[in-house]
Amino acid sequence: MKLSFQKKKAFSQTITSLIILVVLFLSCIPYFCKLDSLPIQLWDESRVSMNALCMYYNGDWGMTYYLDEPDMWNTKPPLLVWLQVIFMKLLGPGELAIRLPSALAAVATGILLFWTARKVYGNNLSGVIAAFILSTTPLFVNAHGMRTGDYDSLLLFWVSAFIFCSFFCSQAYRHERIKEAHRYLYIASLALSLAVLTKGVQALIVVPAVLAFVIFYGGPRRILKDKHLYFAFLLFVLIAGAWYLGREIKSAGYLQAIWENELGGRYFDSDSLLNRKSGYFYPTYLWEEYRWGTAIFGGCLLYAVLYGRKRSRVFALYLALCIVFYLSILSMSVTKIWWYMLPIIPPMTLIIAGIGVPVMYRLKKLYRPAVIAPVSLLLVVFFFAIPFAGIMKKIQTHESQDDLSNYLRRLTEIEDEKEIRTNPLILVYGEEYYQRAPLAFYVLQLQKRGIEVEYKKREELESGDFVCVAEQWAQEYVDARYRYEEVGREGKDIKFLRILGHRE
C-alpha cells in the first residue's frame, strides 16, 4: 500500500514536471519565432550591429568602432557587442547573430523569474505564471525589447538578477544566515557589474532603493560592519571600472563623452523634441497602452500587501519600492523613451504571479471540483491563451516596410558576386544622417566582399552615376534636379537610375 502511494506520488511529480517544461517551452516560442525575419532596425539595433560588425572584421575586442573610427557617440560598454560577435563567428554576420543574445537573455529572465517565484512563494505555479506573463507582455516582446539586438533585454536580465538576489541577501542577513547572505551579496555584485557592462549608467538607477532596503531590513549594524559588503563593492568597481579605464586609455576623451551622452547630456537635455515628454509620461504610457495589465498589477499588489503571507508581503513592498524609485528617477529626466522602463517588467510580473496559488486555494474552498475546472479553464484562456495568441499574431504579421534594407539584405545573401548587377551602386541620402544607420550593416558586408557600394548626398550626384532611390523624397529630388534614364526596378519602390547630368 505504501509502495503504491509512493509510485502515485512519483508519477504525479513527473507529470507536474513535464507540464512545467511544456509551459516554459511554450513561453519561449515568442522569443525565437521569426527572430531574423526583419532587416536591421533603426536606432539602437542599427548602431550596435555596426559596432559588432566592425569588431567582427577588425578583431579589436577592446574598442567599439563605427566604420574605421572609435565610436564616441554610442558610449555604452561592449558586453552585448561581444556576445553578438561571438554569435557572428558561429553563425556568420546576420540578423540572427545580432538578436540571439537578446532572445537568450529573455529565456534566462524567464528561468530567473521561475526560480525566484518558487523560492519566494513556495510553489511551481507562481513561477510558471511569471515566466508566461513575461513572454506575453507586448512591451517586452517587441522591437527595442527582446525582438531586436538592443541593449534592453540583456540589461533587464542582469538588473532583475541584482534586485532578486539582493532581496534574498537581506533575508539571509535578517535571519543571521551569514554564509548564505555572502553568497547572494557577491552574486548581486556580479550581476550589477554585468548590467553596467551592458548599458552603462542606466543599470545604477535602482541601486539606492535596493541598497537602502537591504541595509535597513537586513540589519544596519550587522551589514555595515561586514567586510564582505565592501569586498562586494570592490568586486563591482574592479569589473566595471576595468572597462572604463581601459577604454579611456585607448581612446582619450571617452569618459568626457560618457558625461555628455549618458550622465549630463540626455538626462538634462534631449536631442529630439519627440523625446521631451511630461513628468507623468511613464505611468500614463502604461495605463493608456496596457490598461488591463496595469489594473491587474495594481490589484495584485494591493492583495499582496493586505492579505499575503509575511514574506510575500515584504517581497511585494520591496519590488514596489524598486519600481516607484526607478520610474521616479526616469521621470525627472528630460529625455523620456518608453523602452527605458523595461526593467520594471520582471518585478511587476512577480507581484502578479504571487496571487496564483492563493486564488486557486480560495476557489477550492468556495466551490465544488465540478465548478473549479471550468473556472480554471476560463482563467487560463483569458490570462494566457488570448495574450499568447495576440503576441504570436503580431510576430507572424509584422513585416518590414523598408524596401531598401530588404534589398541590400538580399544582396548580402547572394554568394556569386557576378549575379549582383548593381555593381557599382550609389545610395542616395539627404540631410538626416541617422537614416543611413540600418543600411550601413549591409553596405559594409558588401564592401568587404569587394562589391562597390557607396553613399552620396543627393546634391553631389554626377553624370554617369548608377543610383538607387527608394524613398519618395529622393525620387522627387532627382526628378527636379537631374536628367536620368531608368535602368531597372526592384519591388514596388526601388528604382535604379543612370544620371545623365543636371537639369538646365
**pLDDT tens track for 17-71:** 787 788 888 889 999 999 999 999 887 899 999 999 999 999 999 999 998 889 8
User: Do 409 and 342 fall into the same domain?
Assistant: no
Instruction: Give the pLDDT score at 422.
Output: 56
User: Do 65 and 170 fall into the same domain?
Assistant: yes
- To the nearest 10°, the Cα dihedral for 240, 241, 244, 248? -170
List the single range of 67-81, 220-234, 263-277 with lowest mean pLDDT: 263-277
Percent residues over pLDDT 90 in the chain: 48
- Any domain includes 411: yes
Instruction: Give the pLDDT score at 265.
Output: 62
User: Do 169 and 251 fall into the same domain?
Assistant: yes
Instruction: Give the pLDDT score at 307.
Output: 83
User: Do 409 and 341 fall into the same domain?
Assistant: no
* Mean pLDDT calculated for residue range 123-145: 90
Q: Which three cell numbers stand for residue 193?
A: 557589474
- To the nearest 10°, the Cα dihedral for 286, 292, 294, 298? 160
Q: Is 122 left (phi over 0), alpha (psi -120 to 50) or beta?
A: left
CA pair distance 55, 65, nearest whole angstrom: 7
Last residue of a domain, one of 321, 354, 387: 354
CB 85 within 8 A of CB 56: yes
User: Do 348 and 407 fall into the same domain?
Assistant: no
What is the helix (H) or strand (E) element at residue 157, kind and residue range? helix 152-174
SS3 455: strand
Q: Is the pLDDT of residue 266 over 70?
A: no
Q: At what angle do helices 281-289 and 310-331 cross, to 10 degrees?
A: 120
Per DSSP, helices labelled H in 269-355 are: 281-289, 291-307, 310-331, 345-353
Nearest to 146 by CA among 160, 126, 127: 160
User: Do 350 and 428 fall into the same domain?
Assistant: no
Mean pLDDT, the chain, rounded, equals: 86
Handedness of CA 321, 324, 326, 332 (dihedral sign): negative
CA pair distance 499, 367, nearest whole angstrom: 79
CB 458 within 8 A of CB 497: no
Percent residues over pLDDT 70 in the chain: 87
Tell me the CA distances in angstroms from 350 to 130, 134, 157, one per residue in order: 6, 9, 14
- Any domain includes 454: yes
- Any domain includes 446: yes
Instruction: Give the pLDDT score at 337.
Output: 87
Total of domains in the chain: 2
User: Do 314 and 407 fall into the same domain?
Assistant: no
- Any domain includes 278: yes
Q: Is the pLDDT of residue 3 over 60?
A: no
* Mean pLDDT calculated for residue range 114-132: 91
- Any domain includes 208: yes
CA pair distance 84, 81, nearest whole angstrom: 5
355-398 pLDDT, tens per residue? 877 776 666 666 666 666 666 667 667 778 888 888 999 888 87
Nearest to 87 by CA among 114, 105, 69: 105
Query: If you search the block for the grid coordinates 557576378, which residue do you land on?
Result: 418
CA pair distance 176, 191, nearest whole angstrom: 23
78-103 pLDDT, tens per residue? 999 999 999 999 999 999 999 999 99
User: Do 146 and 267 fall into the same domain?
Assistant: yes
- Any domain includes 485: yes
User: Do 201 and 101 fall into the same domain?
Assistant: yes
Q: Is the pLDDT of residue 443 over 50?
A: yes
| Cα atoms in the 13 Å half-sphere on the side-chain side of 165 | 21
User: Do 429 and 315 fall into the same domain?
Assistant: no
321-334 pLDDT, tens per residue? 999 999 999 998 88
Identify the domain containing residue 278 by its residue range.
2-25+35-354
* Mean pLDDT calculated for residue range 144-165: 96
User: Do 125 and 197 fall into the same domain?
Assistant: yes
Last residue of a domain, one of 354, 387, 414: 354
Instruction: Give the pLDDT score at 131.
Output: 92
Per-residue confidence at 186, pLDDT binned at 50, 70, 90? Answer: very high
User: Do 201 and 275 fall into the same domain?
Assistant: yes
This prediction has a pTM of: 0.91
CA pair distance 444, 57, nearest whole angstrom: 10
CB 455 within 8 A of CB 429: yes
- Any domain includes 359: no
- Any domain includes 127: yes
